[in-house]
Chain A
Amino acid sequence: MSDFHLVRRADFSIRRLIICYAVGILISLGIGALLLSGLGINPFEYYKRMLTMGLIGNRYAYKCIEGLLKIFVPLLITSLALGLAFKMRFWNIGGEGEFLIGSICAAIVAFNSGSMPKIVTITLMCLAASLSAGIIGLAVAALKVRFNTNETLMTLMLNYIMLYLIRYLGSTKAPWNFFLNPESERPIFGQFADNCKMGGIKIGNFTLLYSVIAAIIITVIIYVYLKYTKQGYEISVVGDSSATAKYAGMKVGKIVLRTMFISAALIGLASGLATATAGTISESITNNAGWTGIIVAWLAKLSVPAIFVTTLLISVLQYGCQAAATQYPAIDSNFADLLQGIILFSVLAADFVATFKIARKGGQEK
């Protein structure tokens, strides 16, 4: 064993990487199949059902697409936002918390909107959500820049503080608490008025929500931002080598603050859109987008097009598991998380195989 050691591959081939990833994913599905068989379920039937998401032979197929998109949109924006911070090597793992505070602030607008027109209320909701989340992100970044406080742990703590804040709001009957449904005896969150609910374009029975359009636009904007703008350029330089960034005369602290504000604000925006789509708030409004987004961003190696594709695949996985649960009651949507975990493990390993090789000591290489 000690005769071998690891050597970074000098060459890089995208083909090898893709092959490694594909093998990794196949192995993951294989492990999933074993688990399914253990429960006495035919894995092929299950996977078929999962990957088609119950679309085939379904009169309400359009509802499936709508359901898929409801998972897809917030996850996409959140993953992009997290990718933005990771690209700068800033460990914002506070997606959940930023999402929740955004949702709370969007709801504040929604419950106090009176009879303003829809476009105004929803814009205000998104603005409130973005700003509130952005300020949290900015505060974390400021502490990191000024005092080098550990951002991973800070954002982690904030996730839970926000979670309990929303739980508090959702379970406290009080005259000031406009979040709750006044009719209900038990404390439950109220529903938004119609002017605060996300609308969409009707295509037959199918409703294409404006939030989907917004998400696509945001994806394009972030793609352009990262690839073509000066600020995006600065992010990649800072992330690649902050010594070089300083050498080039960039103000690294300022860039970190700005990027982290944008990252958190985008998560807030995702939250605003999701809240308006749901028409209410709840502690599960995030649908774990803050956590899953980290995995998505990493799987996609922080590339915007890859994040788009990966989000789509993960959404299919998640929604497919939900859809399959109707036929396989023994397996709920958590199976998606399980597979997701295994897939990430194998992809991390595949990454390694693609970038390192094992060399024998003693000059046999080459």
Chain B
Amino acid sequence: MINVITMFLFNIVVYNIALLYGTTGEIMIEKSGSLNLGVEGTMAIGAVCGYIAACRTNSLFVGVLVAFLTAGLTGLVFAFLTVTLQANQNVTGLTITTFGVAFYYFIGNGLSNSKGGWPKLNDTTLADQFRDVEIPLLSKIPILGKGLFSHNILVYLGIAIAVLMWAYFAKTMPGLKLRAIGENPGAADSAGINVTRMKYIHIIIGSGIMGIGGLYMGLNMGGTFEGSNCWINGYGWIAIALVIFANWNPAKALLGTLIFGFFNTLRVYNATIAYNFPNTLGWLNKIPAQFFSALPFIITLLVLIITSISKKNSSNEPASIGRNYYREDR
């Protein structure tokens, strides 16, 4: 029974950390005033390129780097189209998603038909680099230890990124400048901040972070997931929802990942849990899996509506989001 809880906690983290990457990456982009709906596609591109690079070189590090760079390149396309060419952000973002997911299938099918499918992770040194690493002391805590403090290196990296990003926004000059751009690019511009350069940099880095999340999905599936669904499987869209739920705060994104991850894991394990705790949680079995899947979106929809109705200034949504900045517009 205790095993069930530990396993449950473990899975919350291990199956949903990609969400944290997607969310923190999108937060970084949205803080610069751009709404990038291409999270799903960006993650897919990072996943494909990063995964193949990792398998070819047998190096997790190279994989992460390639995922970051290729996804960053996607971000560059988004930045070029929306910041320099002033194209519509919604359309550009959606196109990145269409393109990215199609790219995943294009490569995936090319590989599976001529070269025996995605490379597998089993028994490679790569898999070894991806193994779980126990945090001394903390991992010895009963029940929680194995669940929360014994994970692969990318889990720790994702958490580190979230924490660092929080500190970046809250405690550093460039972070403050970025927030100023997201709130009022005209004000930031007149304060001497190079709005275009800052937007480019942060869109590229944010996209790169999403790419690592994509790679994580691929690694976690071990390259075995060849169903009709893409590895990313809608996580990019949940990430966009989570940005709102986390109120554009990377630290809250970490918490939000655990909450959304909790529902997501419950979806898979509700039967197991109901079986193990028949008296107290037996009712879980009656709740359909799809309800848990839809829950992040339902909650986010409610959050959106409630914050807009209660006109309090509680939302941290960057004020200029979705609008392109052109200095000479009066």
Interface segment, one of B49-57, B91-99, B116-124, B135-143: B91-99
- Closest Cβ of chain B to A119, distance in Å, is 35
State which residues 271-297 of A face B: CB under 8 Å.
291-292, 294-295
A330-B114, A331-B109, A349-B81 as given contacts; A168 in contact with B288, CB under 8 Å: yes
Contact A161 B298 (CB under 8 A): yes
Interface segment, one of A53-61, A201-209, A240-248, A340-348: A340-348
Give Cα A158–Cα B300 distance, bound, in whole angstroms. 10
Give Cα A147–Cα B307 distance, bound, in whole angstroms. 9
Give Cα A165–Cα B294 distance, bound, in whole angstroms. 8
Interface string of B286-313 (1 = CB under 8 A from A): 0011110110011011001100110000
Contact B309 A147 (CB under 8 A): yes
Which residues of B have CB within 8 Å of A34?
none
Interface segment, one of A108-116, A121-129, A148-156, A192-200: A148-156
Which residues of B have CB within 8 Å of A172?
288
Contact B96 A168 (CB under 8 A): no
Contact B105 A332 (CB under 8 A): yes
Q: Which of A91, A298, A334, A352 gathers most chain B CB within 10 Å?
A: A334
Total residues of chain B contacting the partner, CB 8 A: 48
Contact B291 A168 (CB under 8 A): yes
- Closest Cβ of chain B to A321, distance in Å, is 10
Q: Does B35 contact A (CB under 8 A)?
A: yes
Contact B81 A150 (CB under 8 A): no
Contact B304 A348 (CB under 8 A): no
A164-B291, A329-B113, A338-B103 as given contacts; A149 in contact with B77, CB under 8 Å: no
| Total CB contacts across the A-B interface at under 8 A | 143
Contact B300 A167 (CB under 8 A): no
Q: Does B13 contact A (CB under 8 A)?
A: no
Specify the chain A residue showing the minimal Cβ separation from B85.
A352
Q: Does A157 contact B (CB under 8 A)?
A: yes
Contact A334 B105 (CB under 8 A): yes
Contact A298 B91 (CB under 8 A): yes
Give Cα A349–Cα B106 distance, bound, in whole angstroms. 24
Q: Which of A149, A164, A167 gathers most chain B CB within 10 Å?
A: A164
Which residues of A have CB within 8 Å of B35?
152
Q: Does A335 contact B (CB under 8 A)?
A: yes
Give Cα A161–Cα B300 distance, bound, in whole angstroms. 11
State which residues 7-54 of A face B: CB under 8 Å.
35, 39-40
- Closest Cβ of chain A to B266, distance in Å, is 14
Q: Does A225 contact B (CB under 8 A)?
A: no
Contact B297 A334 (CB under 8 A): no
Q: Does B200 contact A (CB under 8 A)?
A: no
A143-B308, A294-B91 as given contacts; A39 in contact with B110, CB under 8 Å: yes
- Closest Cβ of chain A to B311, distance in Å, is 8
Give Cα A143–Cα B308 distance, bound, in whole angstroms. 9
Contact B109 A154 (CB under 8 A): no
Contact A344 B91 (CB under 8 A): yes
Contact A157 B241 (CB under 8 A): yes
Give Cα A159–Cα B296 distance, bound, in whole angstroms. 12
Contact A35 B81 (CB under 8 A): no
Q: Does A210 contact B (CB under 8 A)?
A: no
- Closest Cβ of chain B to A351, distance in Å, is 7
Contact B98 A291 (CB under 8 A): yes
Specify the chain B residue showing the minimal Cβ separation from A151.
B304
Contact A331 B99 (CB under 8 A): no
- Closest Cβ of chain A to B18, distance in Å, is 17
Contact A156 B37 (CB under 8 A): yes
Contact B95 A295 (CB under 8 A): yes
State which residues 87-103 of A face B: CB under 8 Å.
91, 93
Which residues of A have CB within 8 Å of B304?
149-150, 153-154, 157
Contact B98 A345 (CB under 8 A): no
- Closest Cβ of chain B to A184, distance in Å, is 19
- Closest Cβ of chain B to A216, distance in Å, is 27
Of A93, A156, A168, A332, the contact of B109 (CB 8 Å cutoff): A332
Contact A152 B288 (CB under 8 A): no
Contact A165 B290 (CB under 8 A): yes
Contact B87 A351 (CB under 8 A): yes
Contact A164 B294 (CB under 8 A): yes
Give Cα A338–Cα B102 distance, bound, in whole angstroms. 5
Which residues of B have CB within 8 Å of A91?
90
Contact B98 A298 (CB under 8 A): no
Q: Does B88 contact A (CB under 8 A)?
A: yes
A172-B288, A295-B91 as given contacts; A341 in contact with B102, CB under 8 Å: yes
Specify the chain A residue showing the minimal Cβ separation from B327.
A5
- Closest Cβ of chain B to A317, distance in Å, is 12
Of A93, A143, A331, the contact of B106 (CB 8 Å cutoff): A331
Contact A330 B113 (CB under 8 A): yes
Of A153, A165, A330, the contact of B110 (CB 8 Å cutoff): A330
Give Cα A295–Cα B87 distance, bound, in whole angstroms. 13
Contact A161 B294 (CB under 8 A): yes
Q: Does A231 contact B (CB under 8 A)?
A: no
Q: Does B240 contact A (CB under 8 A)?
A: yes
Contact A345 B308 (CB under 8 A): no
- Closest Cβ of chain B to A153, distance in Å, is 6
A156-B37, A171-B290 as given contacts; A344 in contact with B95, CB under 8 Å: yes
- Closest Cβ of chain A to B172, distance in Å, is 27
Q: List 28 A-B contacts (CB under 8 A).
A: A93-B37, A93-B90, A149-B305, A149-B308, A152-B322, A153-B240, A153-B244, A153-B300, A153-B304, A154-B301, A154-B305, A156-B240, A157-B301, A159-B237, A160-B234, A160-B237, A160-B294, A161-B301, A164-B293, A294-B91, A294-B94, A298-B91, A329-B113, A331-B106, A332-B105, A336-B102, A345-B99, A348-B81
Taking A341-B102, A344-B91, A345-B99 as known contacts, 17 extra A-B pairs with beta carbons closer than 8 A to each other, sorted by chain A number, are A39-B114, A148-B308, A149-B309, A153-B300, A157-B304, A161-B298, A164-B290, A291-B94, A294-B90, A295-B98, A330-B114, A332-B105, A334-B109, A348-B87, A349-B85, A351-B85, A352-B85
The 5 closest A-B pairs by CB, nearest first: A341-B99, A337-B102, A164-B294, A334-B105, A168-B290
